[in-house]
Structure 1
Amino acid sequence: MTTTTTRIEAAALPTGHPLLASYDLSGLALPNRVLMAPMTRLRADAHGVPTPLMAEYYGQRAGAGLIVSEGIAPVAGGRIHPLQPGLDTAGQIDGWRTVTGAVHAAGGRIFAQLMHGGRNSHPANLPGGGTPVAPSAVAAADRVHTLDGKADPVVPRALTEEEVRGLAEAHAEAARRAVSAGFDGVEIHGANSYLVHQFLADGTNLRTDRYGGSVAGRIRFAVEAVEAAAGAIGAHRVGLRISPGNTEGGMVERDPAPVYHALLAALAPLGLAYLHVTDDPRYPALDDLRPRWAGTLVGNTGEHAETTQESATALVASGRADLVSVGRPYIFNPDVVERIAAGVAWTPILGKDYHYGSGPHGYVDLPRHDAVATLRSPVSTRGNIEE
């Protein structure tokens, strides 16, 4: 079955709960403190065009204070997965207008996450079978998912300085297209082993030019990409996600603190919409970076511990974060915030066969707490990828 999108009125939520308090995000009024984290779901068509199914999915989750979309490559060469949506053709932009229109019609707000895959991609997933690009010619650790199954990673081609500068400007162009497509802003993905993170990490950035060789060099691309996007659409519409110390995808950051201290110092004058920080036990980024960031901080702990209503509430109530991002619970609970308001438990996270696929099952057929619906048993789909 398919559930219909319901408009969520902010006034309907009770006051007093830390996560249900309103928040002014650089002029964007959020009715609550819950951000729906970006999650790869792979429901675009073969041309990377967002589908009506995606509009239904995001519209169902419009009760979040803010939705951040799944990762969208700022350029076609930054694509990672087959069936990943793009944002560089007229058809893709029109498809996203349908998605953002559904979210806004349901009373929600949505940012586009700009995510260049860098070395994490594969020729089978790139236009014309191109070679992935990266700061340095260091292959990823994990096998790559293609339409024909998993493939061994390839050694990426190291970007030239001119190409790096071009990719920073590409983030500006992608930000403009996102606003044209109806997004309220963009989040630049500088976390979880993708291109911006690859520049920040010493294990993937072996450069000795101005984009490597020192802390100042390693943060340069991240700063230039954020500055370019902010210059294009306004800093109040731009967020940045980081995951200091995250070892996902074979990443190595031997001493994250000096790098991220310098990054925050360089970005602080811009007045960004927010900084989105994924915490990690190896480097307690939230505790270390919160005092160093005067702007809005979004906290996420889902990489190392399942997010619960209790942990999300504690993160905001303690002041460690202004907003909390919730990921996988949103797969199985389209009404994450409404359940908090009603005092209803979240549906437990089920097997990963639900996370990826090409149809509505496990995507738009998850019931709200106040709806009468039956969740069907999982259906395994070819080409599933792990989070």
Structure 2
Amino acid sequence: MPRLLSTFGLALLATFLVALACTGPTEPPTKEPIFDSGEYGGDPLPNTEHIPELFPSPNGDQVALIRERTPGEPSDPQNQLWIVDRNGENARLIGVNVLGADWHPTEDRLAVTVATGIDFYVYTIDLETMETRQWTGKNHQRLSFPVVSSSGWFEDGRRLLVFAHQKAYQQPFPRGLYTVDTSDSTTIGPLAELFEAASFGKDHKYVIGKKYLHDNSPPSGNFARYNFADSTWQWITDFPEDSLDLVDTPVACPETNYIFQAREVQNAKQLFLMDSRGENARQITTLGGDIPRCGSNGSHFIFRRDVNRGQGARYVPYRFDLEMNEAKPLWPALPDSVPDFPPLSSQSLSKTLNPR
């Protein structure tokens, strides 16, 4: 839901922006704010649908996306995973109860995070046979509790980077980053404790994510970089703890040394671009944007933009061209922001995507 800042909230945001100036990131242009309170976000047009998550394939030809539900069909499963062509055509249902998807380098498989209630599991799906395999959450596995999510594939196409994002009662492994070898099930870690929601940086040499300070204090901490070569990590931001809810976890890209981050600036989330150390940040959107996902060859990224004054559905997907420094809708679907989905009855789901 859009944030409507009170007088207290505006004071908090001012403190937040001063902190940015002290730590390297630059303030937005002086012409901001673009939006008055309540102008950005809000209710979508009636009977419109939006997509909360998109994941472009390595070559950019396809997009995996999460569809929350089928409008008007309350009995249909939620969090449907579909794959569509880059232009939104040829939608194909892959699975349900999926919160995130990571493409294999060869694009013939996906690593997915499956959620049932408050439990999370990591699976892989073969896109040709639709066979699945569960890698976390079973009693005989090293990561035996259902608290693990996927962060993506290493370049070798064999190992998965995953993270345990909470500590359940009697959980035998700590929160943090792990690797799972899908060739023999070997699990290594934690590489870094209390580290989560990581994304690969340039040439898969490092990851960027959220680093917590205390196991029992989820709000604490900041954003950090973990280096695979020497197993070290360092902070890349030092936002005040009371401002962390105004910023999203940064997203790195294997093809570039850029890091993208959504930060709330005067009543709207806006996207910032910074280097791999979290320095030299600059705002690159003025009409809103969050949840960036890297595109092929590092030339662009996909993000979503909330509605402005009720012009359409919420969270319209956009493609940002880094060379041209401009954003355009991913596909011409307004006032909706979704492809043309076929009926679920015409689709075949992946097999045995059933945690146990």
Normalised by the size of structure 1, how large is the TM-score? 0.30
Structure with more contact order per residue of length (Cα contacts < 8 Å, sep ≥ 6): 2
**Higher fraction of strand:** 2
**Higher fraction of helix:** 1
